[in-house]
Structure 1
Amino acid sequence: MKIKGLTAAIAIAVSALGAGAAWAQDYTFKLHHFLSANSPTHTETLVPWARAVEENSGGKVRIEIFPSMTLGGRPPELINQVRDGVVDLIWTVNGYTPGLFPRTEVMELPFVYVNDPGAANLALYEMFETDLRDDYPGVEVMFLHVHSGQAIQMRDAEIRSPAGFRGKKIRIPTRTGAWVLEALGAVPVAMPVPELPQALQKGVVDGALIPFEIIPPLKIQDQTDYQIELADKTRLGTTTFQLSMNKAKWDSLPAEIQKAFRDASGPDWLAELGRVWRGTEEFGIKMAVDSGNAHVTLSPEETEAFRAATQPVIDRWIAEMDSKGIDGTALVEKARALIAKHGSM
């Protein structure tokens, strides 16, 4: 009887341990992206977000971050890597796969996005369920965000008017950015950002539309003489990014783990992300100026010339959306209204 009692007690203990192990199960995720581990995006965006998810989960979640495409492939392949379940999570530029996220492109348009990344992030958050979700089959979006906007960074040309772009070869990561350059008479050159320093050095491109925050990690100050922006930090549009999870992986998670992700990805985080990216922007332009580069800010009159020159980009985008059965005008109006709303907070 004593032996039987001991056996029963052991069985109960083992059962309890098993239940406890199941309750305390670890969920490990691989997050893949294309920038270096020293980039502001890695250190100031992806790492803090991952740590917040882990903390929210009470230690049940672990997120391993793989920078610089260390799991293989090229940056434009990231969206398919996560859709196919090769990785669990990705952070990527929407524009690396042109036309795949048409509705979300509204935030990239010149003079729709102006100069406030936090306001644009919150606008994207509000628009996601009602207007943008259909762009994202096969993934569960954790959050969308933008950078500080397309500043003009040139090897040796001080551009102060649309005419200054004529014939120049300019790097851009998105098709809407390419439309901006075409409207200005420039030659758009698409390439992932890690390829930019060598392209500038070799004269493959004359410049780039890209934020100042990229200056420190890529040493862009060494390949350029001019950093240019429009009045009141206005930029020629922006780029949208997504941090997304494989949809099947997301659907397999219990509600408490999903909540840990959602709580780390809400409005407070998106507003803070806008402040973080603005801060890295200021750091980047300071590095360029300290290296002897010229930081040029255009006048309101010069800025208005760019507004007029790029209006056909918005018209072109609206016409294309209308041809797909998407109300482009409504998206432009809503995006502008929400940016104005959140920019006043």
Structure 2
Amino acid sequence: MNIKTVALALGASLVMTTSALAQEYTFKLHHMLSAKAPSHTEMLEPWARAVEENSGGKVKIEIFPSMTLGGRPPELIQQARDGVVDLIWTVNGYTPGLFPRTEVFELPTVFKNDPVAANLAMYDMFEESLKDDYKGLEVMFLHVHAGQAIHMRSDDVRSPADLAGKKLRIPTRTGAWVIEALGASPVAMPVPELPPALQKGVVDGALIPWEIIAPLKIQEQTEFQIEGAEKERLGTTTFQVSMNGDRWGSLPPEIQQAFKDASGREWWGEVGNVWRATDDFGIELAVKSGNTHTTLSEEETAAFREALAPVVDRWIDDVSSKGIDGAGLVEKARELIATNGGAS
């Protein structure tokens, strides 16, 4: 081995050693969708890289998609709370009743069509009104998707009566109440289980955003995608990226700050933009594949609003029985969504 070869080998070894020393904190982030899903490529990866950069290379976040560390999507919250993994991205509603205050943002007529405004409203309400939902966890950020739209295997939908007797998939209890208010039967399941359920006729349709069309090829299992006037939706779903509370508490201030700087108010708003853009891509894909995109008239949309008004009252009664000011949360959420409207 000549001197040049030895020098190159030593140099490479030094770079590897320096890199290993620099990455003093490694975190595992676990989630339920594939590495090709927009939630992974457009949200989780950029956020993780921002944390790493903020830390000066001391942090490494390894992302494990598609439940590759084991378990089913509803188990992600417990995995984080138990410290089985460091970080999770999950649907709050996969564990019904654990995040009652945050559910206010899922309600129809509270959330209509603006994920940016909803995310910013959650940020503004978090410390005072939502934080008690997240004991044992350190929330990095919360977000919603672009809203529940109706996807049907073979039926167009123009009125609540068109859904009577149908079976629809939904991941959350608030979504189940929406489906019941429309005269249909809710079928709870994590979204990765939806494609075979549609193919086999286990469900007639689903309440999901357009975003999920591409990663799960929903356009191949449905014929109709339906939403209200001006992209109005039937509520939405809340999500979280959270860390095990003990792991968070063990980190030095400068590492905590690296996470905080990547997870500020501006980022919560940007996540709303990500989900709006991927939603638009999803519906374009469905239409190009030959599906029918139905936009309800204002009159037809108003009929859905009227049918769904009791869902908000049901939620207020439910959380109020647990000592939570449901009416106050609805009022505050609506006010802040309106204030943050048009922030994208």
Please list, as runs of the form range in 1=range in 2, the aligned pairs for 1:148-167 lying within 5 A after superposition. 148-167=146-165
The aligned counterpart of 2:47 is: 49
The aligned counterpart of 1:296 is: 294
1:58: how far off? 0.7
Distance in 1 (CA, whole Å) between partners of 2:144 and 2:210 is: 14
Q: Does 1:127 align with 2:125?
A: yes
The aligned counterpart of 1:334 is: 332
**8 Å contact 2:28–2:86 — kept in the other structure?**
yes
The aligned counterpart of 1:323 is: 321
SS of corresponding position for 1:167? coil
Looking at CA atoms only, which structure, 1 or 2, has the larger radius of gyration?
1
Which of 71, 75, 78 pairs up with 1:77?
75
Distance in 1 (CA, whole Å) between partners of 2:189 and 2:21 is: 46
**8 Å contact 2:23–2:60 — kept in the other structure?**
no
Which of 204, 221, 226 pairs up with 2:219?
221
Question: Structure 1 vs Structure 2: percent identity of aligned residues?
Answer: 74
1:286-336 Cα deviation digits (max 9, x unpaired): 110001100000011111111110011000000111111111000000000
Which of 237, 243, 246 pairs up with 1:245?
243
Distance in 1 (CA, whole Å) between partners of 2:114 and 2:227 is: 14
1:273: how far off? 1.0
For 1:99, the aligned partner's letter is: G
Distance in 2 (CA, whole Å) between partners of 1:258 and 1:301 is: 50
Distance in 2 (CA, whole Å) between partners of 1:25 and 1:146 is: 32
1:163-218 Cα deviation digits (max 9, x unpaired): 11100000000000000000110000000001101000000000000001111111
SS of corresponding position for 2:34? coil
For 2:290, the aligned partner's letter is: G
Distance in 2 (CA, whole Å) between partners of 1:281 and 1:52 is: 24
1:220-269 Cα deviation digits (max 9, x unpaired): 00000001000000000000000000000000001111111011111111
Distance in 2 (CA, whole Å) between partners of 1:59 and 1:116 is: 35
1:272: how far off? 1.2
The aligned counterpart of 1:312 is: 310
The aligned counterpart of 1:95 is: 93
Which of 210, 234, 246 pairs up with 2:232?
234
Runs of at least 4 residues off by over 6 Å = 20-23
Distance in 1 (CA, whole Å) between partners of 2:52 and 2:175 is: 36
Please list, as runs of the form range in 1=range in 2, the aligned pairs for 1:190-209 lying within 5 A after superposition. 190-209=188-207
Please list, as runs of the form range in 1=range in 2, the aligned pairs for 1:265-284 lying within 5 A after superposition. 265-284=263-282
Distance in 1 (CA, whole Å) between partners of 2:74 and 2:321 is: 26
Please list, as runs of the form range in 1=range in 2, the aligned pairs for 1:21-32 lying within 5 A after superposition. 24=22, 26-32=24-30
Distance in 1 (CA, whole Å) between partners of 2:112 and 2:19 is: 51
Distance in 1 (CA, whole Å) between partners of 2:223 and 2:136 is: 43
Please list, as runs of the form range in 1=range in 2, the aligned pairs for 1:139-178 lying within 5 A after superposition. 139-178=137-176
For 1:286, the aligned partner's letter is: E
1:71: how far off? 0.3
For 1:91, the aligned partner's letter is: W
- Describe the shift of the 1:149–1:21 C-alpha distance in structure 2 as closer, same or farther (beyond 3 A): closer
| Structure 2: 5+ residue stretches without partners | 1-17
Distance in 1 (CA, whole Å) between partners of 2:23 and 2:75 is: 31
SS of corresponding position for 1:200? helix
For 2:83, the aligned partner's letter is: G
1:271: how far off? 1.4
Distance in 1 (CA, whole Å) between partners of 2:264 and 2:20 is: 28
1:344: how far off? 3.8
For 1:211, the aligned partner's letter is: P
CA-atom RMSD in angstroms: 1.4
Structure 1 window deviating more from structure 2 (268-277 vs 46-55): it is 268-277
The aligned counterpart of 1:5 is: none
1:70-105 Cα deviation digits (max 9, x unpaired): 000000000000000000000000000001100000
1:24: how far off? 4.6
Distance in 2 (CA, whole Å) between partners of 1:22 and 1:182 is: 54
Distance in 2 (CA, whole Å) between partners of 1:245 and 1:111 is: 31
Distance in 2 (CA, whole Å) between partners of 1:248 and 1:133 is: 16
The aligned counterpart of 1:255 is: 253
1:101-139 Cα deviation digits (max 9, x unpaired): 000000000010010001100011111100011111111
| Structure 1: 5+ residue stretches without partners | 1-19
1:21: how far off? 11
**8 Å contact 2:23–2:57 — kept in the other structure?**
no
Instruction: Give the TM-score normalised by the residue count of structure 2.
Output: 0.93
Distance in 2 (CA, whole Å) between partners of 1:44 and 1:152 is: 24
For 2:48, the aligned partner's letter is: A
Distance in 2 (CA, whole Å) between partners of 1:344 and 1:207 is: 31
What is the aligned residue count? Answer: 326
Which of 111, 114, 117 pairs up with 2:112?
114
